Amino acid sequence: MATNSTLLCIHRDPAQLSLLQESGYELVTATTGHEGLRLFMSQPVDAIVLEYHLGLLDGAVIAAEIKQVCPEVPIVMLTEHLELPDGALKSVDALVTKSDGIHFLLATVHFVLNAKPAQLRDDGKPRPRIPLHLRRLGELRKGPSEPNPIQLATNDKGAPFSPNLWRNIRNGTIQF
């Protein structure tokens, strides 16, 4: 399965994510949050796999910084357990625990790269299509009326990240 998508993997041990590369993804790896932010600003990526426990800068801080520059890039947070501080998930699009396994991470990455976002904002206006080069430069920011990606992940209004779909991915009834 050749995907040609580039993933920025910010993880203490990127070798643990080798299945992503074996599945056709190009990997750009960093072992610290600072290094990950530097790589993010220096080269284009299609999605980010981000470990929560990184040391000085935790994954929530890194995700928030990335979303300020490019709110459209999907971020998959990888963590040891589901018990995270309040607000830790406000800037991520999906959460995978290490106990879910690398295949669930692969399915989640595939999903966030291929799911189509809702076409209308909460106020009924169409979502703007922002060219990637403008988003990357941080010239356009997410407007105050746009929903948080976690809200998209948990509402039942036909959003791509419905709880039912995640449940089906988790229990293996959805195949790619």
| Cα-to-chain-centroid distance, residue 166 | 14
H helices of 33-162, in order, are 33-42, 59-69, 102-114, 132-137, 149-154
pLDDT at 115: 78
The answer for residues whose C-beta is within 8 angstroms of residue 144's C-beta and 6 or more apart is none
pLDDT per residue, tens digit, the chain (176 aa), is 446 899 999 999 988 999 999 999 999 999 999 999 999 999 999 999 999 988 777 888 999 999 999 999 999 999 888 777 787 888 899 999 988 889 999 999 999 998 765 544 555 555 544 444 444 344 333 444 444 444 444 444 444 546 666 666 666 666 55
Distance, in Å, from the CA atom of 73 to the CA atom of 67, rounded to the nearest integer, reads: 7
Which residues partner with 75 through β-bridges? 48
Q: 102: closest CA among 21, 174, 16?
A: 16
| pTM exceeds cut of 0.75 | no
The CATH code of domain 6-171 reads 3.40.50.2300
For CA atoms 40, 38, 153, 118, the dihedral sign is negative
Distance, in Å, from the CA atom of 154 to the CA atom of 150, rounded to the nearest integer, reads: 6
